[in-house]
């Protein structure tokens, strides 16, 4: 069995009586990316700082390749942890050239061609003698990556490293960075509050809320099997339809939904993402026929429709209770406000959660 490159267990950190990091455990395997994902203030950066050795935990352990590097008794100093850091504001030294900046990353070790090899890898070899102010944001980011990789760290900790870059550039740099980190076999722990960044980069996502890791899993699993309503809502807009369970089923205007194992009388939220609503025509008020997969259709009237490029966002006011449902549909379809349409809910794409 492969040992995790980084294993963090039961980390706790309290500031002014508040548990900012509350029993956090996570692992990163060699050559893999784990994303610590969560809203601002949930404790991501504090967790990262403890792993880097800049902050000290109140309790909990950190192991690198099975070796204890920090508990509350023994503590390997930051420079002895074989950890590289990349932060958004982790600026290059302005008075050093690109080559000197990367060379600085070697921390006194012999170069042996590593600086040029790394600059080649990040596509910056021709800027060897340039100074940081002569480079674009994306180019500086590439040099920063080369500098962080110079001492061949076993782990790279990244805190929102791409947030200073504009959208198009960010996607490119993200993909390139990932490829380079994988080719170096570095284990990466990446902190972000952006779900799309985590979905795009992570092998594993640890979803954090109020100091706790509430769910861990592959991007696919965490997106398609969220643990609760908040976890579902963190990744996209969601629609919520209310119901009450009777005999493991809940009745709604969209027909019955299965709620296995949920006791009778429990109020539930049926959650569905906008792209999983199906829309059909009115047919003079008859609408489409019910199907086993899509259940009973319900009628709504278009309240708002916005073209946003690849898709259109359509907002419906539902006849049954006046509530609003949002659908994302291919952008070839942009219905007029006031159009009656019928909506069906794909059973296989719904999540049923007891209301908390």
Ligand X SMILES: Nc1ncnc2c1ncn2[C@@H]1O[C@H](COP(=O)(O)OP(=O)(O)OP(=O)(O)O)[C@@H](O)[C@H]1O
The residues of the shown chain that bind ligand X, judged by CB under 6 A, are 15, 20, 38, 40-46, 193
- For ligand X, the closer CB: 48 or 268: 48
- For ligand X, the closer CB: 36 or 279: 36
List 12's β-bridge partners, or say none: 22, 59
- Cβ at position 20, least distance to ligand X in Å: 4
- For ligand X, the closer CB: 21 or 271: 21
Give exposure, 69-85, as e/b (b: 16+ Cβ within 10 Å). bbeeeebbeeeebbbbb
List 258's β-bridge partners, or say none: 249
- Cβ at position 53, least distance to ligand X in Å: 15
Contacts 24+ apart (CB under 8 A), 7-10: 7/61, 7/62, 7/63, 7/64, 7/66, 8/47, 8/51, 8/60, 8/61, 8/62, 8/63, 9/60, 9/61, 9/62, 9/63, 10/59, 10/60, 10/61
CA 284 to chain centre: 44
- Cβ at position 13, least distance to ligand X in Å: 8
Q: Determine contact, residues 58/24, Cβ cutoff 8 Å.
A: no
Helix axis angle for 167-184 and 137-149, nearest 10°, is 20
CA distance 274 to 325: 8
Rounded to a whole number of angstroms, the CA Rg of the chain reads 25
- Cβ at position 55, least distance to ligand X in Å: 8
- Cβ at position 261, least distance to ligand X in Å: 33
- For ligand X, the closer CB: 49 or 278: 49
- For ligand X, the closer CB: 231 or 298: 231
- For ligand X, the closer CB: 45 or 275: 45
Count CA atoms closer than 13 A to 113's CA, side-chain side: 3
- Cβ at position 87, least distance to ligand X in Å: 10
- Cβ at position 145, least distance to ligand X in Å: 21
- The three-class DSSP label of residue 283 is coil
Q: Determine contact, residues 293/346, Cβ cutoff 8 Å.
A: yes
- For ligand X, the closer CB: 32 or 46: 46
């Amino acid at each position: 069995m492969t040992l995790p490159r980084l294993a963090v267990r039961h980390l706790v950190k309290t500031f002014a009586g508040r548990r900012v990091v509350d029993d956090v455990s996570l692992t990163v395997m060699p050559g893999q990316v784990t994303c610590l994902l969560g809203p601002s203030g949930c404790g991501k950066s504090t967790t990262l700082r403890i792993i880097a050795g800049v902050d000290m935990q109140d309790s909990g352990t950190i192991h690198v390749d099975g070796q204890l590097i920090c508990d509350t008794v023994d503590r390997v100093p930051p420079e002895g942890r074989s950890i590289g850091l990349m932060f958004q504001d982790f600026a290059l030294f302005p008075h050093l050239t690109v080559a000197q900046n990367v060379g600085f990353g070697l921390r006194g070790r012999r170069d042996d061609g590593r600086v040029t090899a790394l600059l080649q890898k990040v596509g910056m070899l021709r800027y060897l003698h340039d100074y940081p102010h002569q480079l674009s944001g994306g180019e500086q980011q590439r040099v920063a990556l080369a500098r962080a990789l110079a001492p061949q760290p076993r782990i790279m900790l990244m805190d929102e490293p791409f947030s200073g870059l504009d959208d198009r550039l960010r996607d490119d740099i993200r993909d390139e960075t990932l490829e380079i980190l994988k080719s170096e076999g570095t284990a990466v722990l990446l902190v972000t509050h952006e779900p799309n960044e985590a979905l795009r980069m992570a092998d594993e996502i640890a979803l954090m809320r109020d100091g706790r890791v509430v769910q861990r899993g592959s991007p696919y699993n965490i997106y398609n099997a969220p643990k609760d309503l908040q976890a579902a809502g963190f990744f996209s807009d969601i629609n919520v339809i209310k119901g009450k369970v009777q005999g493991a089923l809940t009745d709604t205007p969209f027909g019955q939904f299965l709620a296995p194992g949920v006791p009778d009388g429990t109020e539930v939220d049926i959650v569905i993402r906008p792209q999983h609503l199906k829309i059909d025509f009115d047919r003079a008020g008859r609408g489409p026929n019910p199907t086993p997969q899509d259940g009973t259709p319900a009628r709504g009237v278009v309240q708002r429709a916005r073209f946003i490029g690849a898709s259109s966002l359509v907002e419906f006011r539902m006849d049954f209770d006046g509530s609003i449902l949002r659908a994302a549909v291919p952008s070839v379809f942009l219905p007029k406000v006031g159009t009656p349409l019928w909506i069906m809910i794909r059973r296989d794409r719904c999540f049923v959660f007891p209301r908390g």
